[in-house]
Structure 1
Amino acid sequence: MSAWEESSTARVVPPARPRKLAKVPFVELADGRLQGVVSSGSDIARVYVSSVAAGDYAYACSTNNNRPCGGARGGFCNHIGALVTEAVLQYGAGRVARYLRVEVAEESGAPEIASAMRATRPAPAGNQAAAAVFSRFLRHLAYLELAPTTAPLPEMQWFPPTRAVA
C-alpha cells in the first residue's frame, strides 16, 4: 500500500491556475451545477450562494440568510459572473464548459462561457441548493482548522476498511 492510501487526506487536483480566495472562497462542480460562495462587495459579513445548472443554465443567487440577490433579476448577477471566472481558474475553461454543456470554442475563457449561457436567456431557478452548498462550504472551512494528521476522521468512518485491523 502506498503512503497516500493510508492517509486521512485525499489527493487534490491542483487548480488550473492560482486563484485568490477573497472574492470566491468556495467553488465546485457538483450536483449538476456550478455552485459556490461569493463574497459581497459591500458588506464583509455577507456572502452569496450562487449556482448555475448544467444544460439549461437556470441560475440562483441569494445571501447566506436566504435573501434573494438584487442583481439577479432577469439575468446573471455579478456574483454568478465571478463564480464562472473563478471556476475557470480552478478547473480550466474546457472542463467548466463541458460540465455545464456550453458550446464555445476550445480557447474560450470565462467571459465567453458566461456570454454563451446568457444568450440562451436562462430562467431563475429555485434556491433549494443554497443551504447544502453553504453547509458544504462551512464544512470545508472546518477542515482548514484541523492539524494535519494520518489518524482517521470520525465523520469519515463509514468508509470500509482497506485492510484488516488487529
Structure 2
Amino acid sequence: MFLPAWKESSTARVIPPACPRKLAKVPFVELADGRLQGVVSSGSDIGRVYVSSVRAGDFAFACSTNNNRPCGGAHGHFCKHIDALIGEAVLQYGAERVARYLRIDTDSATPDSSEITRTMTATRPGKADASAAAGVFSRFLHHLAYLELAPTTAPLPEMQWFPPTRAVA
C-alpha cells in the first residue's frame, strides 16, 4: 500500500503563526478545552506568572497566579492579563480564528483584538471556575522542558505513542 510521504513522517505539520509575536509577555497561548487560555508574565515580579482563560460562548473568565492566588485586577471585568492573552492569541492564530473559536459574533468581517475584547465584555461575562489553571500551567511547563533538550533529529520516546501506519517487516 502506497502512503503519501507526510503520512510516513514522524513530524507533524505546523501551522505558522498569523503574525510574529514576542514571547516575553505571553509565553504560552492556546485554543483548547473550549477556552482561550495561556500564561501571562507579571509586569511587576519576574518570578510570577498568571494563568488566564476565557471560556467560549459565555466568555466566563479566570485569572490567577502560578500559585493559585486570584488576580487582583479581575473583578467583574477582564484584567490586563486577559487583554494581553487575547492580543497574543490574535497574533498567533489570527482574529477570525479566535473569534470563531470563542463563538463571537462581530460586526466586521475582519475583527481585531480590541473588537473581540469589546464584544465579549459587552455581554458582562462572569467569573469562571479556575480549576483549569493547573492543567494549563502544567502544559506550559511541559513545553518549556523541550527547550532544554539538545537539538536532534532522533525520535523522542515520549512522542512515540502514535500508532504505526504500516507493519514493520
TM range (shorter): over 0.9
1:3 shift after superposition: 6.3
1:154 shift after superposition: 1.8
- Structure 2 residue identity aligned to 1:31: D
Post-superposition CA distance 1:114-156 (Å, at most 9, x none): 0100000000011011000000011111122223333332222
Aligned to 1:91: 93
Aligned to 1:75: 77
Q: Equivalent of 1:142, from 138, 142, 145?
A: 145
Residue 35, structure 1, aligned to residue 16, structure 2: no
Structure 1 residue runs of 5 or longer lacking an equivalent are none
Using the size of structure 2 for normalisation, the TM-score is 0.92
The count of corresponding residues between Structure 1 and Structure 2 is 165
SS in 1 for 2:30: strand
- Structure 2 residue identity aligned to 1:14: P
Stretches of 4+ aligned residues off by more than 4 angstroms: none
1:84 shift after superposition: 0.2
Change (3 A) 1:146 1:2: farther
SS in 2 for 1:27: strand
RMSD: 1.5
Using the size of structure 1 for normalisation, the TM-score is 0.93
- Structure 2 residue identity aligned to 1:12: V
Structure 1, 149-158 or 83-92: larger mean CA deviation: 149-158
1:4 shift after superposition: 7.5
Map 1:1-150; keep pairs closer than 5 Å. 1-2=4-5, 5-7=8-10, 9-104=11-106, 105-150=108-153
Q: How far apart are the structure 2 equivalents of 1:88 and 1:3? A: 28
